Every structure is written in structure tokens, then in C-alpha cells.
Amino acid sequence: MRRSARNWPLSDDAAAGAGGRLLQPDALSDHVDRLYRAACAMCGSHEDAEDLVQETYTRVLAKRRLLRSEDDLAYLLRVLRNTHVSRLRAAGRRPVTDRERDGADEIDPRSTARPEAALETRELFAAIAALPAHQRDALVAVDVAGLSYREAGRALRVKEATVTTRLHRARQAVAARVLEPQPATPAPARAAASRGRLGRSVAHKEHRT
């Protein structure tokens, strides 16, 4: 009977003999930043992202992990994704809607020093979070976490060609959403605004005279 990773002997030699290796806890801190960016893209909120990363690490560190054919980041990204899905199911809700996201907290200021760049980052993460789950996962794995197509396929348990297709569609959808022109101000609103400015100008001149 094949033993699971949970029941496997807690030694590096045993892991190597099984054709794998144990995940080293001391190296996990190297991936925090990329996992945080991936979590932001999944959640669209920096507070939810921090909670997601923390829960992911809590799950991973709860027991020794035997890795067979993927690197640390690919494995952590897969756990991050599964944890995100579990949190949504437990909360009995779908990913946040546009209306809910409009009121969400801004992305953590540590991600950028310029306010306009922070706004762009928030819009980008919101666009990614709004993607269908399978497209979002592919884009997060490759463009946010920096995995290769092969690594992303292993992390998501799909073929490399599937990653390529989903990533292409995800990039198109995000580009269309981010570059979507803002609706023009309706003519009545523009006229009202012009009348308001004109009224203020006349009042100012009368006051001066």
C-alpha cells in the first residue's frame, strides 16, 4: 500500500528514496512577496491577500511536505489557490463583484511609492480577480508569480498547452478591462457644469464691482 506524504517518515533520506524531497520551512520566506502579489490578484484586496497568505503558510507548516516534481513556489502557489477556493466555499460566496470591489481597501502602499501607480495596481488586480477562475489561475501563476508554463501546468494540474490558451485569453480580457475607455460625461451634465461655472464667474465679477 502506497503511503501518503502525511504518513511518510520525517527524514530527507526517506524523501529522496521516494523520488522526492521535503519542503524546507526555512526557505519559505523567500517566496512571501510573490505569493502576496498572487493573492492580491486573486482577492482584489490587500487585507484579504494578507489573510490568504497567512492561512496558506499555516497549512503548509502544519506538517512535513513531500514534493515530487515541482519546486517550492509552484507548490506554494497551488496551496494558495486551493486555500482561496476553500475560503470562498466556506464563506458561501463568489469572488467579489465590481460594486463590492469599488469599496474595497486600496492595495498595500508598500507595493508602490506613487499614488497614481497604486491606483493602476489596484485596477489591474481588480481586473485579474474578476477573471474566470481557470483564466485567473493561469495568469497569476505565470505573470504574477513568475512560473514557467511547465511549472504553472504542474501547479494547476493541467497540460502546458492548456496554460498557454488560458493565459492568452486572460491577458486579452485584462487588457480590454484596464484599457476600457471611461464613459463620457452626458451632454446635460456637461451643460449643467458649464452653467455652474458661468454662474460662479458672474457672481465673482459682481462681487468685485
pLDDT tens-place string over residues 95-104: 555 544 444 4
What pLDDT is stored for residue 45 in this prediction?
A: 86
How sure is the predictor about 65, in pLDDT bands with cuts at 50, 70 and 90?
Answer: confident
What pLDDT is stored for residue 171 in this prediction?
A: 95
More confident residue, 105 or 44: 44
72 by DSSP, 3-state: which? helix
More confident residue, 12 or 143: 143
What pLDDT is stored for residue 192 in this prediction?
A: 52
What pLDDT is stored for residue 2 in this prediction?
A: 40
How sure is the predictor about 201, in pLDDT bands with cuts at 50, 70 and 90?
Answer: very low
List the domains of the chain with CATH numbers: 5-208 (1.20.140.160)
Q: How far is CA 114 from CA 6, 50, 84, 108, 117, in A?
A: 46, 21, 29, 12, 5
Start-to-end C-alpha separation, the chain = 98
Give φ, ψ of 67 to 5 degrees: -105, 135
84 by DSSP, 3-state: which? helix
What pLDDT is stored for residue 182 in this prediction?
A: 55
123: number of Cβ within 10 Å: 15
Of 115, 124, 111, nearest to 180 by C-alpha is 124
Of 38, 34, 58, nearest to 48 by C-alpha is 38
Question: CA 26: distance to chain centroid?
Answer: 24
Q: What is the mean pLDDT of residues 145-164?
A: 93
What pLDDT is stored for residue 122 in this prediction?
A: 82
Instruction: Kindly give the interhelix angle for 32-43 and 72-91, rounded to the nearest 10 degrees.
Output: 30
